[in-house]
Amino acid sequence: MYRHNFDYRAQWEGQYYAIKQVAPVVVETENEIVVVTVYTFYY
């Protein structure tokens, strides 16, 4: 699983979060990377 943190500094569903983390779940083959789903976390 890959992950990347972004500066968010905004409200989401009424609560303030400084960081948004995006974590795509992928399947890697020899020739391509397929994104299966993406999880998003707020901190």
The whole-number pLDDT of residue 12 equals 87
The whole-number pLDDT of residue 1 equals 75
What's the rounded Cα separation, in Å, for the pair 43 and 39? 13
What's the rounded Cα separation, in Å, for the pair 1 and 42? 17
- Is residue 7 within 8 A of residue 19, CB to CB? The reply is yes
User: Per residue in 1-43, pLDDT tens?
Assistant: 799 999 999 998 999 999 999 999 999 999 999 999 999 999 9
Q: Which residues of 19-41 are buried (b: 16+ CB within 10 A; e: fewer)?
A: ebeeeeeeeeeeeeeeeeeeeee
Domain-by-domain residue ranges, the chain?
4-42
β-bridge mates for residue 22, sequence order: 4, 40
